[in-house]
Structure 1
Amino acid sequence: MAKIKLKNMRKSIDKTIDECHKEYLNYCVSIGQRDKTIESKIRFYRFVLPKIVDVSENIETLTKQKIENQVIYYRKNGYKGNTYKSFVIKTRAFLTFCFNGNYLQKFEVKIPRIDSDKKIIYTEDELNLLLKKPNLDECLVGDYKMFVTINFLFGTGCRSETLLNVKVEDINFTNDLILFTHMKTRRQITVPLSSTLKNVLKEYVTVMNLSGEDLLFSKLNKEKMCYDTLHQNMSNYFKNRNVKMRGVNTFRNTFATFFIKNHGDIYRLKVILGHSNIKTTEGYINLLPIDLNEDICKFNPLDVLNKKNLKIRLKISK
């Protein structure tokens, strides 16, 4: 009698891609995935998946070959590696749900290897332009808020979503600490409040007449600001300061890079950024070997030991 695995005898269920994806989203909600994650999957379904399949057709039309062809298209047309890597990761997550539900015969989808792109940061000259304090007697409210926002982003290294959920009561001016309640990892963390940022925020809270439960960076009516509004406001501010806008979260890369350049410890940086893996932290550091030359000369153990021995020899020779 032929030996056949039971799973190979089961037939796939006749469902459309659209039907499967609706069930997939319900499943993601049921297991407690973040709202932002769900939104990202919805956008992927609306704007990316239809490029390779007709979502009204049977789920079996979503084949390995179509996925690989899309990756090839991305590569040939100069898309960044993170674009097609993200495409495969999101597609594979949806496929795994379909495989487990026996909606589709299982096949392997490998995540493509990509070269790590060097993260973009804002230069010291650009930061000086952005951090120049406006005249409070003459500037617009929006300009002042952006000045403080950039101080906050560069002074903490937080993500935009974290920034938009910080309340006045989360700032501990007595112990110089900031509580971040909205993190990508869903963990709350407390980070140091620098003396410069402390002074900027104290004045800001007073000038804007903010109190306890007020969001620190809200709309003028004190309602929560969405990311698109933050991005647009920041773009206008950058334009007025003659600085090229490279993204809100570029300040996170910039914070990490300057932290290390200023002799900060990567393990402390890991805690501040809220990373669970040191490898993730390493990816945020935008240092060239030439940036480390001075440190190598200063802290290289061979040089340090040689200098100690030289001092000893000089003392003996005297």
Structure 2
Amino acid sequence: MGSTKLRTFRKNKIRTISKCYEEYMEYCKYMGLRNGTLKSKERFYRYDLPKMISVDESITNITENMVQAHIINMIDRGLKGWTYSTYVVKLKAFLTYCFEKEYLQEFIIKIPRVTSEKKVVYTEEEVKMLLKKPNLNTCYIGDYRSYVMITFFIGTGCRSETILNIRVKDLDFKKQSIFFRHMKTTKQATVPMSRFLKTELIEYINNMDLKQDDLLFPKLDGTQMSYDTLHQNLVNYFKHCKIKMHGVNTFRNTFATMFIKNGGDIYRLKLLLNHSTIKTTERYVNLLPLDFKEELLQYNPLDNIRSTNKGIRKKLKNRKGIDI
């Protein structure tokens, strides 16, 4: 034992996947990853990784063939491209840590190419049904809170991570603005508050007896709601409205789609969605279920010039009795 090299001893030591992932999460915290990112990695470990291999097994049992076989299985099951692509991204980050620590023999992990699909949105009729206000004298608190949250989502296009961290003091009713202190990136932003949303929020805050430092959408005990709780509450509300729920982020897609259809431009949409570059917004809009044909044709310079010329010819004919 005394003559065994430390490196050899470390390589031969059996490390379970669970132990390695625990170390990996501590490393991620040390690197200052955002709370939302950490929670996403925790969900991956709890729900996704065990579908490929038991976390009680040795880390050395993960092989390149195993990863490829699992992804092929996900594709054969008809899962969407972003689902298995995201899986590989998170798995690669974890295994890269293990490679660097020499817990596992390094192998190549390639991110599958995915053809971007059109984003799903809620129809205008579905939105109207979701925004049908519950009877405040008979409804449950959870349903009322879900209604106001949906109003907030559709009125701002924010992400779930943002809405879960909004506090009452972030709302400025005089200036009709909302301060987003917690977003996907480290930057913060102030966005406009619609008149309808303002009315609903003032009433909601009074009904829920919330204070300035309180979270806007907490659990009943006042603590922060998790994404899973948020999702389940909305699922229940959708069932009550008899509408199929496609996902929380679909509200963001719906906001962007309706914004463009109502005549908004891509540059203002960039500011509202808090995209870092206009290219991100362009890619986002290209994936929305929008038909710009009629809108674009009305601005076509050829048709507009021809239309103007016809008007001139008609005036000249009426004035001189001759056509030109």
**Does TM, scored on the shorter chain, surpass 0.5?**
yes
Q: 1:293–1:29: structure 2 CA closer, same or farther, 3 Å change rule?
A: same
How far apart, in 2, do the equivalents of 1:244 and 1:14 lie? Answer: 51
Secondary structure in 2 aligned to 1:92?
helix
C-alpha displacement of 1:198: 1.6
* Matched letter for residue 142 of structure 1: G
C-alpha displacement of 1:255: 0.5
User: Does structure 2 retain, via aligned residues, the 8 Å contact 1:14–1:58?
Assistant: no
C-alpha displacement of 1:105: 4.0
The question of 1:62 aligning with 2:62 is answered yes
Q: 1:210–1:40: structure 2 CA closer, same or farther, 3 Å change rule?
A: closer
User: Does structure 2 retain, via aligned residues, the 8 Å contact 1:179–1:189?
Assistant: yes
User: Does structure 2 retain, via aligned residues, the 8 Å contact 1:20–1:98?
Assistant: yes
Pairing of 1:158-307 with structure 2 (within 5 A): 158-285=158-285, 287-288=288-289, 291-307=291-307
How far apart, in 2, do the equivalents of 1:234 and 1:73 lie? Answer: 30
* Matched letter for residue 303 of structure 2: D
C-alpha displacement of 1:17: 4.8
Pairing of 1:43-54 with structure 2 (within 5 A): 43-53=43-53
* TM-score, normalised relative to structure 2: 0.84
How far apart, in 2, do the equivalents of 1:135 and 1:47 lie? Answer: 37
User: Does structure 2 retain, via aligned residues, the 8 Å contact 1:154–1:254?
Assistant: yes
User: Does structure 1 retain, via aligned residues, the 8 Å contact 2:178–2:190?
Assistant: yes
Match of 1:33 in 2: 33
Q: 1:61–1:156: structure 2 CA closer, same or farther, 3 Å change rule?
A: same
C-alpha displacement of 1:57: 5.1
C-alpha displacement of 1:287: 4.0
Deviates more, 1:210-219 or 1:162-171: 210-219
* Matched letter for residue 157 of structure 2: G
C-alpha displacement of 1:249: 2.4
Match of 1:13 in 2: 11
User: Does structure 1 retain, via aligned residues, the 8 Å contact 2:119–2:289?
Assistant: no
Deviates more, 1:197-206 or 1:181-190: 197-206
Which deviations, in whole Å up to 9, do the C-alpha atoms of 1:40-93 show, x marking residues without a partner? 223323443344445555544322222111111111221221221112111211
Pairing of 1:84-95 with structure 2 (within 5 A): 84-95=84-95
Q: 1:44–1:135: structure 2 CA closer, same or farther, 3 Å change rule?
A: closer
Q: 1:139–1:107: structure 2 CA closer, same or farther, 3 Å change rule?
A: closer
Q: 1:287–1:61: structure 2 CA closer, same or farther, 3 Å change rule?
A: closer
Deviates more, 1:294-303 or 1:166-175: 294-303
Secondary structure in 2 aligned to 1:229?
helix
Secondary structure in 2 aligned to 1:190?
strand
How far apart, in 2, do the equivalents of 1:72 and 1:242 lie? Answer: 35
Q: 1:87–1:146: structure 2 CA closer, same or farther, 3 Å change rule?
A: closer
C-alpha displacement of 1:259: 1.0
User: Does structure 2 retain, via aligned residues, the 8 Å contact 1:257–1:284?
Assistant: no
The question of 1:72 aligning with 2:40 is answered no
Deviates more, 1:81-90 or 1:230-239: 230-239
User: Does structure 2 retain, via aligned residues, the 8 Å contact 1:256–1:269?
Assistant: yes
Secondary structure in 1 aligned to 2:230?
helix
User: Does structure 1 retain, via aligned residues, the 8 Å contact 2:157–2:253?
Assistant: yes
How far apart, in 2, do the equivalents of 1:194 and 1:299 lie? Answer: 29
Stretches of structure 2 lacking an aligned partner (at least 5 in a row): 1-6, 320-324
User: Does structure 1 retain, via aligned residues, the 8 Å contact 2:179–2:189?
Assistant: yes
How far apart, in 1, do the equivalents of 2:122 and 2:158 lie? Answer: 15
How far apart, in 2, do the equivalents of 1:20 and 1:159 lie? Answer: 31
C-alpha displacement of 1:235: 2.5
Which deviations, in whole Å up to 9, do the C-alpha atoms of 1:190-234 show, x marking residues without a partner? 111112212222222233333311222223343322333323332
Deviates more, 1:180-189 or 1:95-104: 95-104
User: Does structure 1 retain, via aligned residues, the 8 Å contact 2:119–2:288?
Assistant: no
The percent of aligned pairs where both chains have the same amino acid is 52
Deviates more, 1:109-118 or 1:14-23: 14-23
